[in-house]
Amino acid sequence: MNYNLILVDDHKMFLDGLWNIFKNEANCTVLQTAHNGAQVIKYMETNPNQAIDIVISDISMPTTDGITLNKYIKKERPEIKTLMVSMHTDAGMIDTLIKNNVDGYLSKNATQTELLEAVKTILKGEKYFSQSVQQAYMKGVLEKKTETTITLTKREKEVLRLIAEEYTTQEIADELFLSKHTIESYRKNLIAKLNVKNLAGLTKYAIKLGLVE
Amino acid sequence: MNYNLILVDDHKMFLDGLWNIFKNEANCTVLQTAHNGAQVIKYMETNPNQAIDIVISDISMPTTDGITLNKYIKKERPEIKTLMVSMHTDAGMIDTLIKNNVDGYLSKNATQTELLEAVKTILKGEKYFSQSVQQAYMKGVLEKKTETTITLTKREKEVLRLIAEEYTTQEIADELFLSKHTIESYRKNLIAKLNVKNLAGLTKYAIKLGLVE
DNA sequence: TAAAAAATGGCTGAAAACAGGGGTTTTTCA
DNA sequence: TGAAAAACCCCTGTTTTCAGCCATTTTTTA
């Protein structure tokens, strides 16, 4: 069967790489390539009658990330399938994806063969999560590290960002006009909530959330 | 003219993407694809007489990174050109690349056209640093943020990795069978050398080097 | 509108990190 | 082979983080 797709990634070179893969596929048409979710939403709004079968998107992107894009698609154009692609494989991320009803997920470590396999599976109406992703997820579940999907509040994110920006507790307190005890509380909660040991863990999580760098 | 090349990136999908680009080029042969520098070195050692024109490599990779690979190439097979590709564009990184006599650098935001253009330029014996990279570099130079090219020793990298892995000084000392005073020294030197303030800064640098996550 | 969640503030004490100084021994390489 | 770089070690402070408890007020939401 023939299918139409859209490719989204903020790294042009990677996007070109994806495009090359599908360009050579006989029975598919790449409708658009975009480097953030907003472009895709715009495309869908200006071409409401264009049949789209699947959107393959990176997760972390500037402007509008993959998860936000997926939310839009599942609400406005639920017939369109979504396949998310990302650098990292962690249980929390996968959990978020599942909760958002994404149709499939691949690590950027996946091969081209697996990518095409994933698309085929998803177009059949099935979900596709690779073996390695399933393993990583199950490992997380078994280690009880998944908990209940970690959601940080606005304030927590703000504090976490400053922590990762190398501010001390006192400096953050001054910056936000709060007591240093308050920041200490946030710090403690974050360490517990994110299941990390210290500042290094907090910093890595901040990066994963895209709060810094 | 005809040329032979080797592609290196730890993300299979990206590697496949690159491969697709060059596969369709008439006058070039992809000799090997690898997901770390060590594989390439091994290839070169087992095929010492194989003519190689250019190696296109990611910078941050596990096992052996792009800079280490470039060092090997420039020492053992100086006739081979190197083109580095990376996610991030910062003046410090570019400085390191220039000092290591890399033949060219591209951000992963570069287009396929620019990639092929870069290869062509480098094979003519010229250097290739894209407009955007030159701009970023000049900006860094003007802001005097370049400093003197940071090079970490093997041991420093090892300690830095463990620091970013949330180990305490004592735990690192135990792990490496060293005195905790030694690790304290490394920690201090790293903070000074990398021009950061604390553990958060060290962690971010470790990530930038690809030592963790 | 009552309950839950978020935001705020507090204390103590121990452990770790950080700043600044001082070294010696081993390896590398010009 | 001799200097430079890397790897190693130690001490004294001060500051910051972290773990363990607690609490009140505001906002959100069921």
By 3-state DSSP, what share of chain B in percent is helix, strand and coil, each rounded to 5?
50, 15, 35
Three-state SS at A82:
strand
Q: For B91-142, how does the pLDDT look when each residue is reduced to its tens digit (9 = 90+)? A: 667 777 877 888 999 988 888 889 999 999 999 999 998 877 777 776 665 5
Residues A103, A174 within the same domain = no
Residue A100 covered by a domain: yes
Residues B98, B49 within the same domain = yes
Q: Is B47 on the interface with A (CB under 8 A)?
A: no
d(CA A17, CA B14): 7
Residue B129 covered by a domain: yes
The residue that minimises its CA distance to C1' of C21 is B185
Residue A213 covered by a domain: no
Residues B41, B102 within the same domain = yes
d(CA A13, CA A102): 25
- Domain that residue B34 falls in: 3-145
How far is CA A143 from each of CA A112, A136, A138, A196, rounded to the nearest angstrom?
31, 11, 8, 14
Q: How far is the CA of B205 from the C1' of D6 (A)?
A: 21
Q: What is the DSSP letter of A148?
A: T
Residues within 8 A of B (CB atoms), A 16-35 only: 16-18, 20-21, 24
Statement: the CB of B134 is under 7 Å from strand D: no
pLDDT of residue B198: 97
Residue B213 covered by a domain: no
**Beta carbons within 8 Å of B16's beta carbon, 6+ residues apart:** A17, A21, A111, A112, A115
Residues B24, B49 within the same domain = yes
A24 compared with B178, residue with greater pLDDT: B178
Chain B residues whose CB is inside 8 A of the A115 CB are 13, 16
Shortest distance between the Cα of B84 and any Cα of chain A, in A, equals 13
Q: Is the pLDDT of residue B163 over 90?
A: yes
Question: Is there a contact between B199 and A204 if contact means CB atoms under 8 Å apart?
Answer: no
Residues B203, B107 within the same domain = no
Question: Is there a contact between A112 and B203 if contact means CB atoms under 8 Å apart?
Answer: no
Residues A73, A115 within the same domain = yes
Statement: the CB of A191 is under 7 Å from strand D: yes
Residues B64, B112 within the same domain = yes
Domain boundary among B145, B165, B194: B145
How far is CA B160 from each of CA A83, A156, B187, B201, B213, rounded to the nearest angstrom?
36, 27, 8, 11, 13
Residues A15, A81 within the same domain = yes
Identify which of B108, B198, B207 has the shortest CB distance to residue A13: B108
Residue type, A147: E
Range with top average pLDDT, B55-69, B103-117, B158-172: B158-172
Residues A171, A108 within the same domain = no
Over residues A185-191, the mean pLDDT reads: 95
Chain B residues whose CB is inside 8 A of the A88 CB are 213
Q: Is B62 on the interface with A (CB under 8 A)?
A: no
Q: Please return the burial class of B197, using the count of CB atoms within 10 Å of its CB with bins 0-12, 13-18 and 19+.
A: middle
Residues A107, A59 within the same domain = yes
Three-state SS at A37:
helix
CATH number at residue B194: 1.10.10.10
Phi, then psi, of B168 in degrees rounded to 5: -85, 170
Q: Is the pLDDT of residue A141 over 80?
A: no
CATH number at residue B54: 3.40.50.2300
Chain A residues whose CB is inside 8 A of the B197 CB are 166
Q: For A16-67, how does the pLDDT look when each residue is reduced to its tens digit (9 = 90+)? A: 888 888 988 889 999 999 988 999 999 999 999 999 999 999 987 766 778 8
Q: How many domains does chain A have?
A: 2
Place of tokens 């069978």: B177
Report the relative pairing of strands A28-34 and A128-129 from DSSP bridges. unpaired
Report the relative pairing of strands A3-8 and A54-58 from DSSP bridges. parallel
